[in-house]
Structure 1
Amino acid sequence: MRAVGRRLAGGLRAGDLVILAGPLGAGKTVLVQGIAAGLGVTGAVTSPTFVIARVHDDGRVPLVHVDAYRLGAVVEVEDIDLDAEIETSVTVVEWGSGLVEGLASTYLRVEIERSPEAVPGLGAGAEDCGDGGVRVVRMAGSDGEWSTRLRSLWAAAGE
């Protein structure tokens, strides 16, 4: 997940909104750690579950990392004033589906799925595939520009 985040960071720029979806333990925060590393953030990147949002401004572009798990409505998102930072930062929101899409004119949705079937000894329906579990990552932009950016980002990496 860190490697995917690091690669994704290479194509991110100020004003980008990235919405992360996936179950608990899927690797959303680890993906953000990779994005932060790719942006050049030097400080620790931890889940902002209890503080809702953390700003990391020591990279090539500021990173706003949000955990919307405890937010129940769009009005609560408005209360934390994320739109004030959106144009000058890369904003990554865990659990943001249905809450933050209106913050920017376009956004990238990243869905992470755990695949317990791929881990020896764990059958379908297992709750936890452990650290060695396989993750499936799907990325879809809200417009065609994201498709172009993602294609060129992965093409540059030879994939």
Structure 2
Amino acid sequence: MGHQLTETSTRRTVPTPEEMTDLGRRLAGLLRAGDLVLLSGELGAGKTTLARGLGAGLGVRGAVTSPTFVIARVHPPLAGGPPLVHVDAYRLGGGLDEMADLDLDVALPESVVVVEWGEDRVEELADDRLHVVIHRALTQAPAGEGAEDPREVTFRAVGPRWQGVDLAAGLAG
């Protein structure tokens, strides 16, 4: 425990769900096998939308949907990249001890692991992690057809894995 974890962060305003998907696609370009990404934000904030973009960017098989009822879903790579393990920790009371019981047919260190509702539940998995926090930018969405409901997305990179990674540049559109 004695070592100091380094931390960097950057923030993006994301006006539409399509741009949230694009942001996930760009984030995928920064990820590699063994990375842990924690997605936080209220219901409907856009966690699964971001994860869908991540899956597209990683080139994995299967539609990335909310894994709420299965708790975890493995998306194997279509090409040479790592598999995506998409976890919903909302109902994982015991944290990742329960992950071992999920019988995932994949080694977590060889995968990109994305955990929705992972904050304060799965940090012990890795010293290196990327926290992605999504907040609605407007407290009340404007009424009307096609009204924008922008999100503030904060990326907080923790640990030596992220030293020297230019998050802001990598996420720029």
Query: Where on the TM-score scale, by shorter chain, does this alignment land: which range?
Result: 0.7 to 0.9
Relative distance call for 1:156 and 1:96 in structure 2 (3 A) is closer
Structure 2 match to 1:127: none
Of residues 73, 85, 102, the one that matches 2:94 is 73
Stretches of structure 2 that go unaligned for 5 or more consecutive residues are 1-19
Structure 2 match to 1:39: 58
2:71 counterpart of 1:49: no
The answer on whether the counterparts of 2:142 and 2:149 sit within 8 Å (CA) in structure 1 is: no
Between the aligned partners of 1:54 and 1:39, the Cα distance in structure 2 is 15
Residue deviations 1:77-106, cap 9 Å, x none?
A: 443367x62210000000011111111231
**In the TM superposition, what is the alpha-carbon distance from 1:41 to its structure 2 partner?**
1.8
Q: Percent identical across equivalent pairs?
A: 54
Stretches of structure 1 that go unaligned for 5 or more consecutive residues are 123-129
Let me know the Cα RMSD of the aligned residues.
2.5
Question: Which runs of 4 or more aligned residues in structure 1 lie more than 4 Å from their structure 2 counterparts after TM superposition?
Answer: 156-159
Structure 2 match to 1:155: 169
- The normalised TM-score by structure 2 is 0.76
- The normalised TM-score by structure 1 is 0.82
Residue deviations 1:103-148, cap 9 Å, x none?
A: 12311100000122484349xxxxxxx9831000001111254253
Q: What SS does structure 2 have at the residue aligned with 1:36? A: helix
